[in-house]
Amino acid sequence: CASLFNSRLLDGIHLTITAGPTREAIDPVRYISNHSSGKMGYALASAAADAGARVSLISGPTNLACPERVKRIDVVSASDMHDAAMAEMGQCQVFIACAAVADYRPANCAEQKIKKTDDSMRIELVRNPDIVSAVASHPQRPFTVGFAAETQDLLRYAKDKLERKNLDMIVANDVANTSIGFNANDNAVTVLWPTGNQTIAQMGKRQLAAQLITLIAQRFLSAEN
């Protein structure tokens, strides 16, 4: 985006973004995952690099090419993403959690491919670590931005996550509407922070990313001063 490129709003700022889905192994050939494409996170990484930031993109499995001037760190599971985020945290001033992290993983990953035997089977699941909460509760926390993907009561749930996860901002995304969010090319969001909010109307994810990075940069820079 030419205007962001000229703005250099985030010149020299270290920014880390999580993106895409995670995969939680059931056995050597199967996993639990979700429909996240990673497009929004990659578009944010690209827009942040345009604004002059030094960007680390912690990415789950996607089909996307790494944006120019962005350092990609590839991960598979939520646990891997958590470890990569903790390792990046010390150097970053802004953290944006855009990944659709699997909330649960199989309690055990079978060593061999599971054979079908009975007519039904159960997989025991255990909770994954909450990455953005871990970042936001750290003593040297960066300016921390989360996403809330909801299919109902969008703003109420988003506000609750903003408070519960101790975030500086949250981007509320209505994923019940299939023309926006998850696998779509377009998105429309409402951004909330403790003292205000702003709605960004439906547009392409690249354009939206430029607007989001501008808003995040403004709030981050005003919090710094």
Residue 101 within binding range of ligand CTP, rule CB under 6 A: yes
Binding mask 145-174 for ligand CTP (x = CB under 6 A): -xxxx-----------x-------------
Q: Which positions from 58 through 117 interact with Ca ion, judged by CB under 5 A? A: 103
Q: Which does 92 bind (CB under 5 to 8 A by kind): ligand CTP, Ca ion, none?
A: none
Annotated ligand binding at 130? The verdict is yes
34 catalytic, yes or no? yes
- The packing angle between helices 205-224 and 39-50, to 10°, is 60
CA–CA separation, 197 vs 147, rounded Å?
14
Task: Kindly write out the interface string for residues 197-216 of this chain, putting x where it contacts ligand CTP by CB under 6 A and - elsewhere.
Answer: --------------------
The SS3 of residue 111 is coil
Strands (E), 117-156: 125-127, 143-150
Tell me which of 131, 209, 210, 216 binds ligand CTP, using CB under 6 A: 131
143 binds ligand CTP (CB under 6 A): no
The reply to whether 113 sits in an annotated binding site is yes
Q: Residue with structure tokens 């939680």?
A: 24
- Nearest CA-CA partner of 17 in 64, 56, 72: 56
In the bound complex, what is the minimum distance in angstroms from residue 79's beta carbon to ligand CTP? 10
Q: Which is closer to Ca ion, CB of 101 or CB of 169? A: 101
Asked if 57 is part of the footprint of ligand CTP (rule: CB under 6 A), the reply reads: no
Q: Does residue 95 contact residue 36 with C-beta atoms inside 8 Å?
A: no
Q: Is there binding between residue 58 and ligand CTP (CB under 6 A)?
A: no
70, amino acid identity? V
Active-site annotation holder among 6, 34, 128, 173: 34
Provide the token pair at 188: 């429309």
Strands 186-193 and 54-59: unpaired
Using CB under 5 A as the binding rule, whether residue 27 contacts Ca ion is answered as no
Sheet holding 196-204, edge to edge: 70-74, 54-59, 14-19, 94-97, 143-150, 169-174, 186-193, 196-204
Residue 183: other Cβ atoms inside 10 A: 11
Report the catalytic residues.
34
Interacting residue ranges for ligand CTP, rule: CB under 6 A: 18, 78, 97, 99, 101, 103, 128, 130-132, 146-149, 161
| Residues flagged as binding site for CTP | 103, 113, 129-132, 147, 161, 165
Interacting residue ranges for Ca ion, rule: CB under 5 A: 103
